[in-house]
Amino acid sequence: MSDPSCLFCRIARREIPAKIVHEDDGLVAFWDVNPQAPTHILIIPRDHIPSLNDLEPKHRDVIGDVHLLARELARAEGITSGGWRVVMNCGADAGQTVFHIHLHL
């Protein structure tokens, strides 16, 4: 499911430009417009899931998949041995500003 008014759904549909580094049937990954680290990529499911508060058992695979893609992109970026971090903010008090789940790499 896609939300026509959601920024990240629109990026996934290529209605808004982004520096996309990976896309497949389930996921899209693109550079954060305001990077906070030398590598700062956002990994999103194509499915519009607003936040971790909306997670259901049916999303089990996608939560695994975003982490597997993070590992693949970390390898591609050459940061595997140096170290890398993933973050997913949930809710405004945790700093979530875009309400379509995204894993920060």
Residues classed as catalytic: 102
Show the tokens assigned to 16.
Answer: 């808004």
Question: What is the rounded CA–CA span in Å between residue 53 and residue 39?
Answer: 27
Contact window for Zn ion (CB under 5 A) among 18-26, 30-38, 84-92, 95-103: 95-103
Q: Is the dihedral of CA 8, 18, 30, 25 positive or negative?
A: positive
69 touches Zn ion by CB under 5 A = no
Question: What is the rounded CA–CA span in Å between residue 94 and residue 80?
Answer: 27
Near ligand 5GP in 28-87, by CB under 6 A: 30-34, 42
98 touches Zn ion by CB under 5 A = no
Contact window for Zn ion (CB under 5 A) among 31-39, 43-51, 54-62, 70-78: 43-51
- Give least dist CB 81 to ligand 5GP, A: 25
**Which of residues 49, 96, 101, 103 is near ligand 5GP by CB under 6 A?**
96
Q: Which of 37, 50, 67 is nearest to 7 (CA)?
A: 50
Is the Cβ of residue 15 or residue 81 nearer to ligand 5GP in the bound state? Answer: 15
Strands 103-104 and 27-31: unpaired
